[in-house]
Structure 1
Amino acid sequence: MPKITLEQAISASSRAPHDGYDYLIVGAGFAGSVIAERLAAGLGKQVLLIDRREHIGGNAYDHLDDAGVMVHRYGPHIFHTNAQRIVDYLSQFTEWRPYEHRVLARVDEHLVPIPINLTTLNTLYGLSMTSEEAEVFLAERAEPVSTIRTSEDVVINQIGRELYEKFFRGYTRKQWGLDPSDLDKSVTSRIPTRTNEDDRYFTDTFQMMPREGYTHMFERMLDHPNIDILLDTDFKAVRESIAHRHLIYCGPIDEYYDFRFGRLPYRSLRFQHETVQQAEYQPVAVVNFPDQSVPYTRITEYKHLTGQTHPLTSISYEFPCDDGDPYYPVPRPENAELYKRYKALADETANVTFLGRLGTYKYYNMDQVVGQALALYQRIEDGHAVAPEAAGATAS
């Protein structure tokens, strides 16, 4: 994979006949890497991909820790999608390991499946309900909300306040630093409630993990002679020194404009990684802790995700926080309005396209980011003008 130095990048960008890279792409996560690969391999463009971190892969970066256990440095990343075209594209760069994600929650001294299902309800309440009885059980506890606006409204309308308090309120307050009543309904609308025994976290058609890890997949994706990679480099430090014809920016859109209208709020994460002197720490990859008195939201054990055999195991405790790398756009109406101001500015900025979660201030799953990048490439290939939202509209 062609990693270069800043001096080499500056030199390359000044050489004839190109008079600069065709594309400078900021951010080597899914969005930046996919569009870099497509432009290089599909259109023969000269691409410089830069990232402020010392590695490619963005938040999906995985590596062997000091104990030799494969871990995800930035928390668990589980690939799932219903889109065959996304699988077909990524399969050029990786083989897959089948994996269905299951999550347990520590509630009332029990470890129960989340999303809530029949097993969850029967375990918590000491019952032996059928699916039909569980539907009645939940319907009797639901508190209808006439107009659903917030995350609290969504859950209480579906399953009532008691289960809302047990599973959602504390976890959400830790995750977002806000009460569910202050968050957009989209936060909890993604979480189903089941009355059968299906304990899979996702129900997508395709659920799997890259057999040799995400980093290996990114290395193969970016292994192209038309792609130069410059790591451990801040865009601000090189934006004036590297000649390029078009910029694709996958970083925070407000940062690009020097926070002209103020900062777009994000929630960040802090990880405490530990190696445990035993082969297995917990029965599934992720255990959630909804109790607000527990300072972390979840514990991840990575060997469940990777299938690695090792006499030791490595885990991480996840602590949401306000400071640090931006992970999750905070879904509140005032933040959406602030983003619209930046988007209007972006629409007037020539030769710059914003892409990805941070560039378009929207939470995407990994497959959706790939879909957004592929859609952008298709528009470039077709010679159409590109707008960030137009690129994302066809995401899978």
Structure 2
Amino acid sequence: MPDPDVVVVGAGFAGAVMAERIAAVRGLRVLVIDRRDHIAGNAFDARDQHGVLIHRYGPHIFHTNAAKVSDYLSRFTEWRAYEHRVLADVGGRLVPMPINRTTLNALYGLSLRSSDEVQAFFDARAERRERLENSEDAVVAKVGRELYETLFRGYTRKQWGLDPSELHAQVCARIPVRTNDDDRYFGDAFQCMPADGYTALFERLLDHPLIEVRTGVEFADLRERYDHLVWTGPIDEYYDRRFGALPYRSLRFETETRATPSGELLQPVAVINHPSEDVPYTRVTEYRHLTGQVHGASTLHYEYPSAEGDPYYPVPRPENRALYQRYAALAAREKGVTFVGRLARYQYLNMDQVVAQALAAFTAVFGAERSRAVHA
């Protein structure tokens, strides 16, 4: 392939969507590189040694209220209807998470029957806050201290390595609190999983004659010349961490596979949370719930958050945001470089939000009109 017009660093959602749009709409040659040995970023899925389809980097559940996003991705995949449900293990009792009426009745031996009764329960225990300064405030202001201690504090401390009082309010405010019996984790209008898996979706996204993909490649080793760069990696890495490293949270996984000769499932739902700090992992995922695969074995992932490893989550604290803004000021002065995605923008984004951001970034930088000059 001749020198590309555009180089995209990172083959996750941000990079793949940008590459597809640039090639398909603008008719430009695109080279996509990724330092990992595969495409699809953290959404990568593949069959393990037992033939069970798993998400290598933890469970990825697609949900969105943005029709523009679901319509766009539907060009590259069929969908399998799936509504995600999570249970929390509280002293051996499994209760729905997010908190709903069933959760309260199970934890406290109650028989609350209406939304008004549930709201009255919350109101009687909520601790009023004039301002939500942190994630502890965000929870106790809604449901009170006991539920905060039971379901949120330990889990958050394990997930982030910080007490909720040290984290931005948005971290725990993302989790809804319900007064009805709706036990779905998400309330979005569109809740589905790619029918053939995420990797297959990415293969179709990147299947264009003007796109070349190279995995196992570092940006520093690239020798091609190009007109524009799309950067989806950590923004501090692009600038050689000149102001210091931005903190990211990572994950590691322990895997267990058990025989299921009749195709049965091992857990009642895909994910069981473990909020107690006495348990070292945060959650256990059984992937066949997510994929719908029928198999004679089932694989479980035990998830352990870590400060070391590949960057997964920007750590939402005011001092980290201030450090990011110093890098963002440099990025704003760049010519011919577009920063997009969770790591490049230092934002805690869901998959649909990354896709929406990439579509918006493409339009802003490259325009939406189809190019007349298409490379042969």
Shorter chain as denominator, the TM-score bin is: over 0.9
- Alpha-carbon separation, structure 1, partners of 2:26 and 2:231: 19
- Alpha-carbon separation, structure 2, partners of 1:307 and 1:351: 43
Identify the match of residue 72 of structure 2 among 89, 95, 105: 89
Equivalence for 2:131: 147
**1:168-202, CA deviations, whole angstroms, 9 ceiling, x for partnerless residues?**
00000000000000000010111111111000000
Identify the match of residue 326 of structure 1 among 308, 311, 329: 311
**1:188-222, CA deviations, whole angstroms, 9 ceiling, x for partnerless residues?**
11111111100000000000000000000110111
What TM-score does the superposition give when structure 1 sets the normalisation length? 0.91
Identify the match of residue 250 of structure 1 among 213, 227, 232: 232
Residue 380 of structure 1: CA displacement? Answer: 2.8
**1:324-364, CA deviations, whole angstroms, 9 ceiling, x for partnerless residues?**
00011000000000000001111122211111001110011
Helix, strand or coil: the match of 1:198?
coil
Equivalence for 1:100: 83
**1:104-141, CA deviations, whole angstroms, 9 ceiling, x for partnerless residues?**
00013210000000000000111111222221111111
What TM-score does the superposition give when structure 2 sets the normalisation length? 0.95
Equivalence for 1:360: 345
Residue 381 of structure 1: CA displacement? Answer: 3.6
Residue 24 of structure 1: CA displacement? Answer: 0.3
The residue identity in structure 2 corresponding to 1:272 is E
Helix, strand or coil: the match of 1:28?
coil
Residue 85 of structure 1: CA displacement? Answer: 1.1
Give the CA RMSD over aligned residues. 1.1
The residue identity in structure 2 corresponding to 1:201 is Y
Helix, strand or coil: the match of 1:196?
coil
- Alpha-carbon separation, structure 1, partners of 2:189 and 2:160: 29
Say if 1:27 and 1:50, in contact at 8 Å, map to a contact too: yes
The residue identity in structure 2 corresponding to 1:332 is R
Q: 1:237 to 1:381 in 2, by over 3 A?
A: closer
1:224 is aligned to 2:208 = yes
Say if 2:122 and 2:143, in contact at 8 Å, map to a contact too: yes
1:164-243 matched pairs, under 5 angstroms: 164-238=148-222, 241-243=223-225
Identify the match of residue 256 of structure 2 among 274, 291, 294: 274
**1:251-299, CA deviations, whole angstroms, 9 ceiling, x for partnerless residues?**
0000011000000001100011221123321100000000011000000
Helix, strand or coil: the match of 2:342?
helix
Identify the match of residue 260 of structure 1 among 242, 252, 272: 242
Say if 1:108 and 1:124, in contact at 8 Å, map to a contact too: no
- Alpha-carbon separation, structure 1, partners of 2:68 and 2:117: 40
The residue identity in structure 1 corresponding to 2:37 is E
1:281-360 matched pairs, under 5 angstroms: 281-360=266-345
Residue 226 of structure 1: CA displacement? Answer: 0.2
Residue 311 of structure 1: CA displacement? Answer: 1.6
How many correspondences in the alignment? 365
Gaps of 5+ in 2: 370-376
- Alpha-carbon separation, structure 2, partners of 1:95 and 1:383: 25
Equivalence for 1:72: 55
Equivalence for 2:141: 157
- Alpha-carbon separation, structure 2, partners of 1:27 and 1:382: 21
Equivalence for 1:113: 96
The residue identity in structure 2 corresponding to 1:285 is A
Gaps of 5+ in 1: 1-11, 385-396
Give the fraction of aligned pairs with identical amino acids, expressed as a percent: 60
Residue 383 of structure 1: CA displacement? Answer: 8.3
**1:37-61, CA deviations, whole angstroms, 9 ceiling, x for partnerless residues?**
0111111100000000000000000
- Alpha-carbon separation, structure 2, partners of 1:383 and 1:86: 16
Helix, strand or coil: the match of 2:38?
coil
Identify the match of residue 122 of structure 2 among 138, 151, 166: 138
Say if 2:25 and 2:368, in contact at 8 Å, map to a contact too: no
Q: Which moved more, 1:112-121 or 1:346-355?
A: 346-355
The residue identity in structure 1 corresponding to 2:19 is A
Equivalence for 2:374: none
The residue identity in structure 2 corresponding to 1:206 is F
- Alpha-carbon separation, structure 1, partners of 2:363 and 2:76: 20
Say if 2:236 and 2:327, in contact at 8 Å, map to a contact too: yes
Equivalence for 2:15: 32
The residue identity in structure 2 corresponding to 1:261 is F
Equivalence for 2:360: 375
**1:67-93, CA deviations, whole angstroms, 9 ceiling, x for partnerless residues?**
111100000000000011111110111
